[in-house]
Amino acid sequence: MSKLPHDDIKPFTGEGSKKEQVSEMFDRIAPRYDFMNRFLSVGIDRIWRRKAIRFFKKDKPIHLLDVATGTADMAIMAAKILSPAKITGIDISEGMLKIGRKKIEKENLGTKIVLSGGDGETINFPPDTFDGVMVAFGVRNFEHLEKGLQEILRVMKPGAQLVVVEFSKPRIPGVKGLYNFYMGVVAPQLAKWFNQNKKAYQYLNESAKAFPDRRHFVSILNKTGYSNTYYQSLSLGICCIYSARKPVAPNAY
Ligand code: SAM
């Protein structure tokens, strides 16, 4: 399993593995995470999430896994759109999960969505468990991207779909310049004004820049063993939805 340059992008310069630093950073920003998401994306993130969840419509999944569930935005939206019997959300930040659990309770979805502490790179479930897996803005934070993708593949049922939502780098010259200015200067500064961790938003920019997007990410999915890989670029290339399936073994039936 090869290490990718993005695996080494950490939130802080000090001690600690990427995983430790990422969970510490999200613990810190958790109370204002949802507000900052809506504010910095002008609400577009909800459109991206809805689009990604609709990828599962035809599959009618019964048990979904939301890896890096954070404050459970995807899990809650998926419960409403897809009505699966169960959604399991895992995350390495207890601070994010705490906010997510409160939201689930408020929405009366406690019987459907269960959140627990868990690492997407060593998923605590047996092989072939889930009918579908989603990861929104999570894979960019993995310490070992390929290991995480392998683990996800392991817990998917044959034929199940993985849907990933992640930032990508716009290529249209004017859009690219504006995006770089917004992500590199405006967003960290706004975060500072809102008393948020400026470093967290600098990390967002650096990790998004280093992340293998579009065809590169699709090639990693293929290499990991997924089939039917596909990506859809959104909002002039700022974001991408990726879809991939666990192959059904030829002698399975
Ligand atoms: N999916 C949520 C959303 O769409 O708002 C949260 C996204 S947030 C940008 C990234 C989340 O990934 C954080 O909550 C972080 O703790 C989590 N995370 C990072 N690495 C992880 C890992 N290896 N396993 C599980 N969660 C992880």
Record the pTM.
Answer: 0.94
**If you average pLDDT over residues 154-180, what whole number do you get?**
92
Task: Check residue 155 and give its pLDDT.
Answer: 98
15-23: list long-range contacts, CB under 8 Å, 24+ apart. Answer: 17/143, 18/141, 18/143, 19/92, 19/119, 19/121, 19/143, 22/92, 22/93, 22/141, 22/143, 23/92, 23/93, 23/94
Task: Check residue 250 and give its pLDDT.
Answer: 61
Choosing from 93, 98, 201, 207 the residue with most ligand 1 atoms within 8 A of its CB, the one to mutate for a pocket test is 93
The answer to whether 111 is a known ligand-binding residue is no
In this structure, the residues whose C-beta lies within 6 A of any atom of ligand 1 are 19, 22-23, 26, 67-70, 73-74, 90-93, 96, 119-121, 136-138, 141-142
Task: State how far the Cα of 170 lies from the Cα of 194, in Å rounded to an integer.
Answer: 27
**Residue 119 vs residue 192, higher pLDDT:** 119
Task: Check residue 195 and give its pLDDT.
Answer: 66
In the reported structure, the alpha carbon of residue 251 is separated from the centroid of ligand 1 by a whole-number distance in angstroms of 36
CA 209 to chain centre: 16
Mean pLDDT of the chain: 91
**Residue 2 vs residue 203, higher pLDDT:** 203
List, in order of start, the domains of the chain with CATH numbers.
Answer: 5-169+211-245 (3.40.50.150)
Digit-coded pLDDT (tens) for 50-102: 999 999 999 999 999 999 999 999 999 999 999 999 999 999 999 999 999 99
For CA atoms 58, 62, 68, 73, give the dihedral sign. positive
With cut-offs at 50, 70 and 90, classify the pLDDT of residue 253. Answer: very low
Residue 206: exposed, middle, or buried by beta-carbon count in 10 A (0-12, 13-18, 19+)? Answer: middle
User: What ligand 1 atom has the least distance to the C-alpha of 34?
Assistant: 5
**Residue 195 vs residue 244, higher pLDDT:** 244
Digit-coded pLDDT (tens) for 110-140: 999 999 999 999 999 999 999 999 999 999 9
Residue 174 has pLDDT above 90, yes or no: no
Residue 181 has pLDDT above 90, yes or no: no
The answer to whether 71 is a known ligand-binding residue is yes
Which distant-in-sequence residues (6+ apart) come within 8 Å of 222 by Cβ? 229
Residue 19 has pLDDT above 80, yes or no: yes
Task: State how far the Cα of 59 lies from the Cα of 200, in Å rounded to an integer.
Answer: 36
Residue 251 has pLDDT above 60, yes or no: no
